[in-house]
Amino acid sequence: MRKMVIVSAVLLTGILMVTGAFAQKAATLKIGINAEITGDIPKVGEATKFAAQMYVEDVNKAGGIEVGGKKYLLELAVEDNEAKAESAAKAATKLVTVDEVIAIVGPQASKQAVPAGEVSNNYKTPMITGWSTNPNTTKDRPYVFRACFLDDFQGPALSIFAKDEYKFTKAAVLYDVASDYPKGLAEFFKKDWEKKNGPGSVVAYESFTTKDTDFSSQLTKIINSGAEFLFTPQYYNEVPLIVQQAKQLGWKKPILGSDSWASDELVKLCGKDCLGSYFVSHYASAGAKGATKEFIDRYKAKFGNIPDDVAALTWDAIGLIGQGIKNAGKITGDIKKDREAVRNAIAGIKNFPGITGTITFPPNSGDPVKCANIVKINDKGEFEFYKTACP
Amino acid sequence: MTVFLQNLINALQWGSFYALIAIGYSMVYSILMLFNFAHGDIFMTGSYIGFGVATALIALSATGMLALPNWLILVLTVLFSMVLTSFLGMFIERVGYRPLRDAPRASAAITGLMIGIILETGNLILLGAQRVKFPALVEPVTYDLGGVFVTNQKIMIVVVSLSLALALHQFIRRTKWGMAMRAMAFDYAVVPLMGVPINKIAAMTFALGSGLAAAAGILFGVAYPVLDPYMGIVFGWKAFVAAILGGRGSILGATLAGFILGFIEIFVAMVFPSTLRDFIAYSIILLILVFRPYGLFGEPYSVRLRL
């Protein structure tokens, strides 16, 4: 009987040691994906998953990420948040506590990213959203980051572009005073433009309210103000009316816009009047160069469609996590310590060569400083990458 | 000066829409003593019907069976849509208003609101939430008159709406049907005793108002080619203001008031910051009504009513 106990004890320890050694040898790190796979915006979830899969395959094919002289393979743990706020928080909890991931990519939409960010931050697990532009996602949350720029950032990006490209000094703005996004953008643009070009350099600052269709009075004012270009941070359903009416009132100067222009509907509704205009965007597939083009071509070959902004931003988000792991110095095996190390490494990232722009995290902020892409609506009505603008 | 002239032209175009819609409100109000709050949505539906008819005609023309020039497509679109929308107006009168003719006024008033909501959501269900582009039937040509820019569209819109208003005015002044309408506006109770078929007159009033709203809708689609199901709401309210401002029972009053409203809106935005446009514009109108409570061209009810 005693013998039996000893034998089985020895055997058990043996088994434990073998399996333990085996686990040690595989050395994988798990990255969580919290994505909108079902629900209202399944395309967003799909793009997230595809881009993340492509990244992980790349890394694993190269033998893994090297941290402190040791290579680690990556593994994805994918959770569906059903495009719901509650499910996003639940998915984040599961990824942190059950799957024990080192970091999380997503959720993408702010509705999900804000509550999921809360959970990740409470569990001290790094999270990077690709797409969410709501300031609350990262606000006062040291563990939460984003790969995209904030809305406010578009104002300075555009004023740089107008200055560099055209040497303009007098701007006009037309915006919807009753809608948060255009109003915020108009204000940020005005502030930045007047800082650079002196007070009064926004020579016309005109507004309207949501659902207005006639802008003739405002545009007449703008045209007679001596402005050299018009900035209108409106949505794709209002831009055609503004642009067409401006042209019919004799305006021949450039009209610039924000990322709210980026919809296939814009050119459909606007026709030839909008061709040749520029707007700020996170990413443009047409006319991409270098690493961005390489990503687009490979993604297209693999999944059959051209990657959208979600896919591109996810690629950068998971890339930032990869870089963070690499910079962490050492993986201890204690998941809490490792998460802390990865977070600190991500927060310290400078000049990360992302495909949506070069990304740097300023001290104490999860909102990156990066270059914005200026997109031109070309003669064929496609959104074509034109140049980058770096405030 | 060019700024003033330019805004004058802007205001003429903008006022045309208010005028055409205000006429419809005004007619129904003076003849049936009720506010047809669905009128703004009838305007919206007219615009969408115009979109449907124009799209169908363009498709027909593209097949080559019947090659139509754009101007003919526009004329046909306006005619077909006016007729179709007139039927819609008559239908609304039949199911929504006639059964409630003796009900309290409040019930008849909310009927309009409900029909409006039904038209909006019906459209939403049918075509979805994305905006539709009204086909470019009139290729815009801009004329530069010494710094003042006029397009062929603007001229067309102002001419067509003024002609429609004048035609309606003549119809009511000079025909027997028009006389019956005037009589009904004058005394709702006695008229049936004289053998005037009030149901027919009521239906006709709705048909005329809806037809004009459809014309406005199509002209609107030409000038502002992005349509959405909720475009008639605020527009309808403002046209309603114009109808009351014009005075009860006056076609030319409603027309003129529509233009006045357009002028006030445009010129307030010219002089003041545009953020304050509606605030100041509608304060001015409130002030006008304080001094002329029966509207600009209306008369107290005891006095003979004009139509």
Residue A20 has pLDDT above 80, yes or no: no
A237 lies within 8 A of chain B by CB: yes
Residue B179 has pLDDT above 60, yes or no: yes
Kindly report, residue by residue over A278-306, the tens digit of the pLDDT.
Answer: 999 888 888 788 888 899 999 999 998 88
- Which pLDDT belongs to residue A372? 86
B140 lies within 8 A of chain A by CB: yes
In a domain, B300, yes or no: no
Residues 172-231 of B with CB under 8 A from A: 220, 224-226, 228, 230-231
Nearest chain B Cα distance for residue A236, angstroms: 10
In a domain, B301, yes or no: no
pLDDT band at residue A329 under the 50/70/90 scheme = confident
In chain A, ranges of CATH 3.40.50.2300 domains? 28-149+290-360, 152-281+375-389
DSSP code, position B224: S
Length of chain B: 307
| Cβ atoms of residues A130 and A35 within 8 Å | no
Find which of A176-185, A247-256, A305-314, A378-387 is predicted with most confidence, using mean pLDDT.
A247-256
Yes or no, beta carbons of B7 and A220 under 8 Å apart? yes
In a domain, B251, yes or no: yes
Among A260, A271, A264, A290, CA closest to A356: A290
- Mean of pLDDT values over A146-162: 88
Q: Which residue of A has its CA nearest to B153?
A: A248
- Mean of pLDDT values over A27-31: 90
Count structural domains, chain B: 1
Q: Which residue of A has its CA nearest to B220?
A: A213
Q: By three-state DSSP, how is residue B201 classified? A: helix
In a domain, B240, yes or no: yes
Kindly report, residue by residue over B157-174, the tens digit of the pLDDT.
Answer: 999 999 999 999 999 989
In angstroms, the CA B219 to CA B210 distance is 14
Average pLDDT of chain A is 87
Residues 254-273 of A with CB under 8 A from B: 265, 268-269, 271
Among A214, A269, A271, A268, CA closest to A246: A214
Residue A10 has pLDDT above 70, yes or no: no
> In A213-252, which positions are buried (b, 16+ CB within 10 angstroms) versus exposed (e)?
bbbbbbbbbbbbbebbbbbbbbbbbbbbbbbbbbbbbbbe
- Which pLDDT belongs to residue A16? 53
- Mean of pLDDT values over A368-377: 89
CATH of the domain at B51: 1.10.3470
Residue B130 has pLDDT above 80, yes or no: no
In a domain, B71, yes or no: yes
User: Taking CB atoms and an 8 Å cutoff, what residues of chain B touch A265?
Assistant: 130-131
CA A326 to chain centre: 21
Q: Which CATH number fits domain A28-149+290-360: 3.40.50.2300, 3.40.1160.10, 3.40.50.140, 3.30.413.10?
A: 3.40.50.2300
Nearest chain A Cα distance for residue B169, angstroms: 28
Residue B304 has pLDDT above 60, yes or no: no
- Which pLDDT belongs to residue A13? 58
Yes or no, beta carbons of A244 and B225 under 8 Å apart? yes
- Which pLDDT belongs to residue B303? 46
Mutate which of A174, A207, A217 to test chain B, going by most B C-beta atoms within 10 A? Answer: A217
Count A/B contacts: CB-CB distance under 8 Å: 82
Q: Which residues are within 8 A (CB) of B72 and not within 5 positions of it... i.e. 6 or more apart?
A: none
Q: Which residue of B has its CA nearest to A269?
A: B133
Residue B102 has pLDDT above 90, yes or no: no
In a domain, B192, yes or no: yes
In angstroms, the CA B18 to CA B268 distance is 17
Task: Fold for A152-281+375-389, please state it.
Answer: Rossmann fold (3.40.50)
Kindly report, residue by residue over A183-208, the tens digit of the pLDDT.
Answer: 888 998 999 999 999 899 999 999 99
Residue A235 has pLDDT above 70, yes or no: yes
Q: Which residue of B has its CA nearest to A174?
A: B274
In angstroms, the CA A382 to CA A268 distance is 11
Residue A83 has pLDDT above 90, yes or no: no
**What percentage of residues in chain B have a pLDDT greater than 90?**
55
pTM: 0.81
Residue A213 has pLDDT above 50, yes or no: yes
A210 lies within 8 A of chain B by CB: no
Domain region containing B209: 2-291
- Write the burial class of residue A19 (CB in 10 Å: 0-12 exposed, 13-18 middle, 19+ buried): exposed
- Which pLDDT belongs to residue A343? 92
The partner residue sitting opposite B274, judged by closest CB among A207, A244, A250, is: A207
Residue A8 has pLDDT above 70, yes or no: no
pLDDT band at residue A14 under the 50/70/90 scheme = low
In a domain, B212, yes or no: yes
State the DSSP string of A342-383. Answer: HHHHHHT--SEEETTEEEEPPTT-SSPEEPEEEEEE-TTS-E
Residue B133 has pLDDT above 50, yes or no: yes
B131 lies within 8 A of chain A by CB: yes
In a domain, B27, yes or no: yes
- Which pLDDT belongs to residue A22? 46
ipTM above 0.95, yes or no: no
- Which pLDDT belongs to residue A24? 46
Pick the more confident residue, B54 or A14.
Answer: B54
B133 lies within 8 A of chain A by CB: yes
The partner residue sitting opposite A216, judged by closest CB among B10, B147, B231, is: B10
- Which pLDDT belongs to residue B305? 46
Yes or no, beta carbons of B2 and A208 under 8 Å apart? no
* Token duo for residue A231: 């900035």
